[in-house]
Amino acid sequence: MNTDDLIDFLATRVEAVDPGRQDRLLTLAMAGSLCLAALACIFALGVRPDLLRAMGTFDFVLKVGFLAAMVAIAAHGLRRAARAGRASGKLLRLALLPLALVWFAAVMQIVATPATSGMATMFNDWFVCVLAIPLLSVIPLVVLTLVLRETAPTDLHYCGALLGLVAGGIGALAYASFCVNDAPVYVGIWYAAGLAIVTGFGWLTGPRFLKW
């Protein structure tokens, strides 16, 4: 086929397209999958009994703030990574900042409180946490992958990792409505591990699921 003929063909009766639609769809998919994941968590596990009281504590606010910051940073990166030809890489490092804050709070708490009480809660149900976050993140992973299929990411490992971090963060936010462990030490280790698992999964499977 002659390239000029192809251009003729493509340039006949061109339809208008909406370049803003992709970002709106991504935002909608994230909000929707957060609601779905939260519902799934409430039905499967229940709501923590002391939710209202916990919402006023520093530890809970730090936990939710940490997760929300991770999702926001990764979502920003994902919007860029879903478009061809954007320089990539630096954004994932920015995600270390909220993590560093949580670890700092954890160290402060360990220093301030007697070692016994802090350490006792550290391994409470840790496996539920590390398991539930990846499981709940399946919902955002699937929904966002469907949206990303219409986009044009060119660095599939990187885009997959960001997708994993967004999905892991959404899964963890949903899980936070059930989990009673708010201590920064706990969040800094087990929640971070849950996010890392989903991010790693995204990095590994990006080339397979995001290929276009």
Partner 1 sequence: MSREPDLEALMRASQSGDAEAHRALLQHVSVRLRSYFRNRLRRSGAGTDDAEDLVQDTLLVLHTKRHTYDGSSPVLAWTYGIARYKLIDHLRLNARALRNVQIDEMDDLADVDRYEAVDTSRELHRALDTLPRHFRLPIEYVKIEGLSIAEAAARIGMTDAAVKIGIHRGMKKLAALLSEARP
- Within 61-80, the residues that bind partner 1 by CB under 8 A are 80
- Within 1-20, the residues that bind partner 1 by CB under 8 A are 1, 3, 5-20
Rounded to whole angstroms, the Cα distance separating 113 from 27 reads 41
Show the tokens assigned to 47.
């709501």
Q: How far is CA 60 from the centre of its chain?
A: 18
Q: Which is nearer to partner 1, 15 or 127 (CB)?
A: 15
**Phi/psi of residue 183, nearest 5 degrees:** -60, 135
Burial 19-30 (b: 16+ CB within 10 A, else e): eeebeebbeebb
Q: Which is nearer to partner 1, 64 or 210 (CB)?
A: 210
199 Cβ partners below 8 Å, 6+ apart? 161, 164, 165, 168
Q: Is 116 in the site for partner 1 (CB under 8 A)?
A: no
Q: Which is nearer to partner 1, 1 or 52 (CB)?
A: 1
Q: Which of 68, 86, 92, 196 binds partner 1 (CB under 8 A)?
A: 86
Torsion angle defined by CA atoms of residues 194, 205, 70 and 118, in that order, rounded to the nearest 10 degrees: 10
Interface mask toward partner 1 for 165-184; x: CB under 8 A: --------------------
Q: Which is nearer to partner 1, 151 or 199 (CB)?
A: 151
Total residues at interface with partner 1 (CB under 8 A): 30
Q: Which of 44, 47, 55, 84 binds partner 1 (CB under 8 A)?
A: 84
Q: Which of 49, 85, 90, 112 binds partner 1 (CB under 8 A)?
A: 85
CB atoms within 10 A of CB 72: 15
Interface mask toward partner 1 for 123-152; x: CB under 8 A: ----------------------------xx
- Is residue 33 classed as helix, strand or coil in its secondary structure? helix
Burial of 85 (0-12, 13-18, 19+ CB in 10 A): exposed
Q: Which is nearer to partner 1, 2 or 116 (CB)?
A: 2
Q: Which is nearer to partner 1, 7 or 35 (CB)?
A: 7
Q: Which spans of this chain sit near partner 1 (rule: CB under 8 A)?
A: 1, 3, 5-23, 80, 82-86, 151-152, 154
